Amino acid sequence: MSEWMPLDGARRDEVILVTGISGSGKSVALHALEDAGYFCVDNLPPVLLRDFVQLEHERMAHRVAVAVDVRTASSLPALVPLIDSLRGEGVRIRPLFLDASTDALLRRFSETRRPHPLTAMPAGGDVSRALVEAIELERDLLSDLREVSTVIDTSQLRPALLRSWVRSLVGARDAALTLVFESFAFKHGVPLDADYVFDMRVLPNPYYIRELRPLTGRDAPVAAYLEAQPEALEMLQQILGFLQRWLPSFEDDQRSYLTVALGCTGGQHRSVYGVEWLAQRFEGRHATLVRHRELDAREG
């Protein structure tokens, strides 16, 4: 098949491949992409992906989103090589993998009473155990695809916040590499989507300053307090230097997104300030996105 060439001389056709663990929010993500102007297809067998992309190219459809999941398990081993092949032919394809903790998935399946697509259990069996085994099997089947995808951890995201994060990701689609800076609270777990995690809990905590406690790392008094702590500036300078040193290698590796997560105890002060500080220093040179997992969940 001939190479797909840019139709407008500015960008190639774009395909967002939505996949991930069952119950992690793929339907929500697909609806967000549809609202953003993508032509969306759910549960397309991977063997049909090439023909579908070619057909949409001929229709002059520039933005397409396709959801693929474990229900087509027999075709999954061929999906990663197919992604590489399509990219080699000029298709701008970006896999988006939605993940969530096993505890979050168990809760969601319990609330919706929907069966997991890989659940096969005789009558009278242990429902919880069967579901955990199905989730672990699915993780194994999708592990190779996860490795080549942009990952969003939806464990603590409400649907509205997930829609917002998906729209932000595709909104940065024209950049060669997008830096995602994310703050979080260790007490709520480390984000599954982080490429790098830095622990800011060793720094002085504004929470213990009465007038700073209700504020966040985006507020000037908290920023001033942390800027006065030599160890805070030293840590951030070291993280900055590390990223500056290795970003060219990630760009050479044709990565679309790099997620850098900064954590503190509550995800309100130190990690929020650190994310804002780093993002400001990369803006203008790189496409950057800022996420504050705990603050966004509270405000969303």
Kindly state the DSSP code that residue 21 receives in the 8-state scheme: S
For the stretch 153-210, pLDDT in tens is 999 999 999 999 998 888 765 556 889 999 999 999 999 999 999 999 999 999 999 9
CATH architecture of 14-171: 3-Layer(aba) Sandwich (3.40)
Task: Domain ranges for the chain, please list them.
Answer: 14-171, 178-299
Where do runs of H (alpha helix) occur along the chain? 26-35, 49-58, 79-88, 102-112, 127-141, 143-147, 159-171, 220-227, 230-252, 270-282, 293-299
Residue 178 has which token pair?
């997008």
For the stretch 30-89, pLDDT in tens is 999 998 889 999 988 888 888 888 888 777 667 899 998 887 766 778 889 999 898 888
Neighbouring-strand partners of residue 286: 283
3-state secondary structure 160-207: HHHHHHHHHHHHCCCCCCEEEEEEEEHHHCCCCCCCEEEECCCCCCHH
Note whether 269 and 160 are within 8 A (CB): no
Q: Which residues contact 195 (CB under 8 A, 6 or more apart)?
A: 258, 259, 260
Rounded distance, CA 143 to CA 147, Å? 6
Note whether 290 and 276 are within 8 A (CB): yes
Q: What is the pTM of this model?
A: 0.76
